[in-house]
Structure 1
Amino acid sequence: MILDADTIANGTCLRADVCVVGGGAAGISLALSLSGQGLSIILLESGRMDEDAATQALYAGEVADERLHSPADKYRQRRLGGSTAIWGGRSMPFDPIDFETRRQVPHSGWPISYEDLLPFYPQANALSEAGRFAYEADEALGGVAPPMIRGFQSDVVRTGGLERFSCPTNFGRRYERRLRVAPDIQVLLGANCTAIRLQADGRSVREVAVATLAGRRFRVAARATVLAMGGLETARLLLASRDVAPQGIGNEHDVVGRYYQCHIAGNVGTLVFNGRPQDVRHGYEVTPEGIYARRRLSITAAEQRRHGLANCVARLHFSRITDPRHRNGVLSGLFLSRKFISYEYGKRLNDGTDLSAGLYARHLWNVMTDPVDTAAFLAHWATRRTLAQRKFPSVILRNRTNRFSLEMHGEQIPRADSRVTLTDKQDALGMPQLRVDWRYSPEDIESLRGTLDLIAQELERTGTGRLEYDRDTLEEDLMRFGAYGGHHIGTARMGTDPRTSVVDRDCRVHSVHDLFVAGSAAFPTSSQANPTLTLIALSLRLGRHLAQRLAPATAHVPAPAAAVNGAMS
């Protein structure tokens, strides 16, 4: 059932087997995986079904350098479904190498392997509505797929890996009915967890304190408590819960909030392919089950180890939108309409270019002199994006010249001084606000430079193309917009040593036997991949662990299946 937290009487203590704090992709996936296991589940969600300004304002905080990181209330949504209300749907798993301890990536190494997580990826794909768990072109596209780049054969650079796209699925809307009818799940909307209260010995959770903006106060006591609040809010709640643990829960060694990672991303260089434009597949392809998918360039695991590179992918991209010299009416139209585009995407349409009247005039001229392509794009966008249930993922334009830039999306090397901490300021509920101090390393830039050099060498060796980029401006090109998007990773990292991690291989806080973390806060490293699919898989693995740990003796806990029951209904 779904209830408003303001209907709970002041002073009430609700009891359940599992209390899940946070109703985003991780929390909803976890709750659904526990349903039907003979357990009672309470899911606390701060927001309601739609965005609310007062609730969203609870995210407000400080940022050390806004050029490097967006304000703390951006890229996040405080509502049922969380940030899946605004995500782009890009889905792909982490790679096996991401779980290894790598000499080129300090602080790397997961306490679980890729094989440990693999059984849960198909369920994650199903919940995300991203189709089958198939991420190689030949398997996913049916039969022998045409090559991404005709004539390009390399043992260094891979071209067969795919990213798949969700609808994109808003988990709150998509799974609202299942949450309402589930007899063992109680969802409370408008329920803000303001503290985790431990027993006097600090080894277990006594209760979580809950408050509403209307002034209600109540408690939840559970056999297991799971924080599924995202990479920033999870650290905030752990650090703010200081009645028994003065430094914050799980923070005996000052690790909570550290190793904060996003991704290193930006458009770089000019890549010119030889041959015909139709010999290069740079757009979206459709799998047999109707899922949009796209291929990327990446460096093989063996070459990453050999050259000391962090993980990275490169997508073929059009020229810089803000530069009217591209003479493309569609790109200029996007630039002119950027104020009407959401913050998440509009930010990248304003990169510090001198916004003179002459610049606007040149973009307007591009629109006027390219009416056919502009009209065709608008019609396509209306039918395949605006009005479609499964939306075309992003702008893809016909390429007549075989000229591209590379859109880089790279792993960030974890560093302890990239962190979030608490400030002296408080929000409307009395919770201390966050200060975000995201930092990257010179090694991040050097790793992407090595990746670009390998791609350039292989294109030249095979005679298929030429990649040029400005080595002197590479850092500026990659960091023009700072930390990429809403990928908040690593603030309650997983590991075997409590001195350098917050949770163990089962996502349990080292020092508290019944407190767990679900989501990307637990990731030790960030991979090349967007985190959503992996954080869902990790939450499903946690659900399996909790079901086994808490289930009645007579209950049967099923093994991971290809899909969570009803996920595709």
Structure 2
Amino acid sequence: MPMLDLHNGDAPSVPADCDVCLVGSGPAGSTLARELSGTRLRVVLLESGTTARSEAADALNAVENIGYPRTPDQWAVRNRILGGSSHTWGGRCAPFDAEDLEKRSWVPGSGWPMSIADLDVYLDRSAAHLGLAAGRWPSDARFWAASRREVPGPMPDARLLQPALWQYSRDTAETYLYEYMRFGRHLTDQVGVNITVITGATVLRVDPVPSGRAVRSVVFAGPDGQRRTLRARTVVLCSGGIENPRLLLTSNAIVPGGLGNDRDLVGRYFMDHLRGSVATFSIADAARLQRRLGRYNVRGHLFRAGLRLSPELQRSEGLLNAAVWLGEDVAADDPWNALRRLRGGEPRSMADLGIVATHARLVVRGLADYFVARNGVPRRYAALTLDGMCEQRPDRDSRVGLSEREDRFGVRLPQIDWRVHPDESRSLRRLARLVADESARMALPAPILADWVREGGDMPATFRDVAHPTGTTRMAESPTNGVVDANCRVHSIEGLYVAGSSVFPTASHCNPTQMIVALAIRLADHLKGEAERRSDTPVLTDSRLSPARATAPRVLVTGATGRIGRVVVADLIERGYRVRATTSKVPPGSRTEDDTIAWRRFDLQEAGDYDDLVKDCQAVLHIAAEMAEPTRMEMANVTATGLLAAAAERAGVTAFCYTSSVAVYGSGVERTAAEDSPVLTADRDVPTEYWAVDQTRAYGRTKLGGEGALRRAARSVRYVVLRPAVVVSVAQIIEIREWSRVKRALTAHRHAHHVYVGDVSDAIIWSMARALAGAGAPGSVETFNLSEDDFGEPTHADFLRKAFAASGDRRFRVPAVPWIVDWLRDFLRFRRSPLRHPGWRMRFPNERLLAAGYRFRFGMAHAHAAALAALRDEATLHRPARAEPFASKPSTVE
């Protein structure tokens, strides 16, 4: 992808027009860029900063504050740099609560034009962008079960308090295990050739067409002050809750008062989060407190637990949503910080050695907590506090306007008149007192309430904003009540959109980033849909090369009538490719052949003309395989793969995608099987390597042999090996009810390792398009796990429970059997080493695929929702659910 820096003389290469212009590269802008990557939309992302902090960029964030005091250092809350404010954020993520999006009579201006359920699928998809264990996690007792921990004590009275849970973002591409996702750090490596990122480009205004009813262009300036115009059919403002309204208000050359400001709503309803301490605890109680309110390591991801006001109490007492958690002020002589300094080679080595030696018992306890209990390490604290954060009451007079002062480009500075209300203090006081009242019930030490809480006063001046500016371009169904509609489009202007927390009508108690990312994904889907509906811009998700059919790449697909192949063929045709499809079952001429698809009968067990098969093809998608008969697997899965690769090399094919399997890992000594983990012995059968029947073991070994055949053949073709987990369609998910009752009971606990067939097809085509676009060196072989093991409800039991609720079908209701019974059954069945893990206990992370830029198009949340909808329809109509075409039972990884 092109990256241009206006500081480095790249101005002559700046495009004159584009389909979509993104203004700002923070979580919203970067997410949109990633989601729009691989389409035929020409996208330009304009970022005012560069890849490093600069005084010149910082100066452009100056504000004039005339309201409640705010943090004076703008870098602490707003960053003009590639990646935006993710450069300094704290990584905390949580979806809003259901009541946050509802109309609440005691909260003026509340009510979103959607429910939290409408955003579930986008919250699930946000996990990949944020580096989360899953998009949604239960915060009640189910969290402790899912994290394989005992509930740390009695729960509070649910009518008063409810558990709260935050995840911490994780950038899996960084060497430090718990580095937060910095959205700009890998952006240019993760987007495709249709995305151009321009840094040092400060947007000054957005210009509409003369009527003012549609967007036309953006005007931006480089560091030298030279102004340029970029024509764009669609503009998305992604520059935060202060800059988004500022840009709309300053874009007043044609529309007096600014764009979208017909009802004087732009910049109004400005909210942030006031955060501070409501109580303190004794440092001696740290261990007890951290069992309930600590940090927890779950599958390599950090979580923090807290408490929030119950929806019932909010409603009955007219309270705002608020939450509290354990605040930890780490002491200067903390041994873990000393160890970190020693590891990093920082000065003070002798002093740090003394600190570690003095607190050796704390270090030993920490090792046990980290490796055995899987929690965060215990620290040495200077203070322990109960910290709180509360949503704000929406106020029309709390606003971002324009100052008379100007920045160096002559654009008026934002003037902030932030209003704070007694409702915020009242809600936090009530929450703090409830925690004190309920501490005995929860077996927690009682907090010492802050003076202002005990005395019924307002929160002190130490409560400040925390970089969550919200509400200034609020979302509403009607332009009378908001600036943008439910799709984030400015009501009165075609093609002008706003992304980020500025569109939130209310702010909840939690950090906004995950909701920002979820709405950005939703907006990206909307923009792709809008483009597809325009006949002059055919946009096809994750297809970088899809010109007119006559000149489109020709793609060979083997196994085109199989479980995966038939979906791939349909998706390729939909996206504009020409397809040559092979099958061993259908004779030539039995299907329609045209410029869209040509069928060939080709049996991998027989000698064939591989050169003729790949002739004139630019890409090969090798999906065909023998799965049933071990005696046929060597020829079909290994020899034929090598012959096909050799023919591709001779024909000058550009891209070759091979569908392998996670079965190549066998039963690992380690539970996690990443792409570089040990695999089966390829040249002979070693039964002790796999807790599986002979058929499955042979399949894994020969698929690995096929991978080896590709590596031996690789010269000039770009190869991609995908190792999918258990591939399922909607019908195959439902088929669990056809299993025997014993099998369902024994295996309900198992991690299903399901990956939706629509995503497998999408990933195959994405891999091909990426290679066609030049990713990877000629002759390279990239290998990716294709799994969704971070899906929040991964077990068979999770689906059985939901399916029974949806259908009432008693076949979905099975007794819970402890996992050890299933393990013992497998052990007696296969007589394998107990030091190896059966496949259902293993995990197949997909971090390498996500780091390469792939994002699931559907996800298992979508597949489960479709399956549950089918079951509800079936229950309503009292007839069997319609099976999907070519439905077959999913393969299993034993």
TM-score (norm 1): 0.81
Q: Which residue of 1 aligns with 2:735?
A: none
Deviations 1:138-177 (A, max 9, x none): 55563553234x2344223556432111131111113231
* Range 447-456 or range 485-494, more displaced: 447-456
1:452 to 424, 427, 432: 432
Q: Distance in 1 between matches of 2:84 and 2:410?
A: 22
Contact 1:13 1:218 in 2 (8 A): no
1:418 to 393, 398, 416: 398
Cα shift at 1:306: 2.4
2:325 to 301, 305, 315: 315
Letter in 2 for 1:567: L
Q: Which residue of 2 aligns with 1:407?
A: 387
Letter in 1 for 2:151: P
Q: Which residue of 2 aligns with 1:112?
A: 114
* Range 72-81 or range 118-127, more displaced: 72-81
Q: Distance in 2 between matches of 1:477 and 1:375?
A: 40
Q: Which residue of 1 aligns with 2:878?
A: none
Cα shift at 1:456: 2.8
Cα shift at 1:399: 7.6
Gap change, CA 1:406 and 1:176, over 3 Å in 2: same
Contact 1:134 1:140 in 2 (8 A): no
Q: Distance in 2 between matches of 1:490 and 1:394?
A: 35
1:193 to 199, 203, 225: 203
Q: Does 1:102 align with 2:104?
A: yes
Contact 1:157 1:458 in 2 (8 A): no
Q: Does 1:151 align with 2:151?
A: no
Cα shift at 1:471: 5.7
Identity, in percent, stands at: 33
Q: Distance in 2 between matches of 1:535 and 1:134?
A: 15
Q: Which residue of 2 aligns with 1:251?
A: 261
Contact 2:356 2:363 in 1 (8 A): no
Deviations 1:208-255 (A, max 9, x none): 111112133211111211000011111111111111111111111111
Cα shift at 1:410: 1.2
Q: Distance in 2 between matches of 1:460 and 1:427?
A: 56
Q: Distance in 2 between matches of 1:76 and 1:395?
A: 31
1:510 to 491, 513, 516: 491
1:567 to 836, 845, 850: 850
Partner SS, residue 161 of structure 1: strand
Q: Which residue of 1 aligns with 2:295?
A: 284
* Range 60-69 or range 271-280, more displaced: 271-280
Gap change, CA 1:4 and 1:371, over 3 Å in 2: closer
Cα shift at 1:378: 12
Gap change, CA 1:556 and 1:379, over 3 Å in 2: same
Cα shift at 1:487: 0.7
Contact 1:63 1:71 in 2 (8 A): no
Partner SS, residue 32 of structure 1: helix
Q: Distance in 2 between matches of 1:260 and 1:396?
A: 39
Deviations 1:516-550 (A, max 9, x none): 00101111111111011110111111000000001
Q: Which residue of 2 aligns with 1:397?
A: 379
Letter in 1 for 2:247: L
Contact 1:311 1:410 in 2 (8 A): yes
Q: Distance in 2 between matches of 1:499 and 1:564?
A: 45
- Taking the TM superposition and a 5 Å limit, the aligned residue runs for 1:55-70 are 55-65=57-67, 67-70=69-72
- Taking the TM superposition and a 5 Å limit, the aligned residue runs for 1:494-505 are 494-505=475-486
Q: Does 1:163 align with 2:173?
A: no
Unaligned runs of 5+ in 1: 322-327, 335-366, 384-391
Letter in 2 for 1:172: G
Q: Which residue of 2 aligns with 1:342?
A: none
Q: Distance in 1 between matches of 2:426 and 2:335?
A: 32
Cα shift at 1:307: 2.5
Q: Distance in 1 between matches of 2:520 and 2:160?
A: 32
Partner SS, residue 219 of structure 1: strand
Cα shift at 1:115: 1.4
- Taking the TM superposition and a 5 Å limit, the aligned residue runs for 1:351-366 are none
Q: Distance in 1 between matches of 2:121 and 2:441?
A: 39
Gap change, CA 1:143 and 1:266, over 3 Å in 2: closer
Q: Which residue of 1 aligns with 2:750?
A: none
Partner SS, residue 408 of structure 2: coil
Gap change, CA 1:394 and 1:206, over 3 Å in 2: farther
Q: Which residue of 1 aligns with 2:215?
A: 205
Q: Distance in 1 between matches of 2:518 and 2:73?
A: 28
Structure with higher Rg: it is 2
Contact 2:83 2:183 in 1 (8 A): yes
Partner SS, residue 296 of structure 1: strand
Q: Distance in 1 between matches of 2:509 and 2:851?
A: 27
Q: Which residue of 1 aligns with 2:343?
A: none
Gap change, CA 1:10 and 1:499, over 3 Å in 2: farther
2:413 to 433, 438, 442: 433
Q: Distance in 1 between matches of 2:498 and 2:507?
A: 17
Q: Does 1:547 align with 2:528?
A: yes
Letter in 1 for 2:301: I
Q: Which residue of 1 aligns with 2:511?
A: 530
Gap change, CA 1:249 and 1:371, over 3 Å in 2: same
Contact 2:452 2:459 in 1 (8 A): no
Contact 1:126 1:568 in 2 (8 A): no
Letter in 2 for 1:173: R
More contact order relative to length (CA 8 Å, sep ≥ 6):
1
Q: Distance in 2 between matches of 1:146 and 1:540?
A: 35
Q: Which residue of 1 aligns with 2:46?
A: 44
Q: Does 1:268 align with 2:272?
A: no
Q: Distance in 2 between matches of 1:415 and 1:511?
A: 23
Deviations 1:391-415 (A, max 9, x none): x999963589xx9531101111111
Contact 1:272 1:466 in 2 (8 A): no
Contact 1:11 1:218 in 2 (8 A): no
Residue correspondences, number: 513
Q: Which residue of 2 aligns with 1:358?
A: none
Q: Does 1:486 align with 2:474?
A: no
Cα shift at 1:514: 0.8
Q: Distance in 1 between matches of 2:35 and 2:848?
A: 9
Partner SS, residue 281 of structure 1: helix
Unaligned runs of 5+ in 2: 170-178, 338-350, 368-373, 543-757, 760-787, 792-845, 853-894
Q: Which residue of 2 aligns with 1:4?
A: 5
Q: Distance in 2 between matches of 1:126 and 1:457?
A: 39
Partner SS, residue 221 of structure 1: strand
Contact 2:270 2:469 in 1 (8 A): yes
Q: Distance in 2 between matches of 1:512 and 1:413?
A: 29
Deviations 1:173-199 (A, max 9, x none): 1323123xx111011111111111111
2:245 to 217, 235, 241: 235
Q: Which residue of 2 aligns with 1:338?
A: none
Gap change, CA 1:306 and 1:331, over 3 Å in 2: farther
Deviations 1:484-524 (A, max 9, x none): 21111111111123233110100000110110001011111
* Range 512-521 or range 53-62, more displaced: 53-62
Letter in 1 for 2:435: I
Cα shift at 1:35: 1.4
- Taking the TM superposition and a 5 Å limit, the aligned residue runs for 1:309-348 are 309-318=319-328, 330=333
Gap change, CA 1:103 and 1:435, over 3 Å in 2: same
Gap change, CA 1:119 and 1:248, over 3 Å in 2: same
* Range 235-244 or range 8-17, more displaced: 8-17
Q: Distance in 2 between matches of 1:55 and 1:276?
A: 42
Q: Distance in 2 between matches of 1:185 and 1:393?
A: 40
Partner SS, residue 218 of structure 2: strand
TM-score (norm 2): 0.53
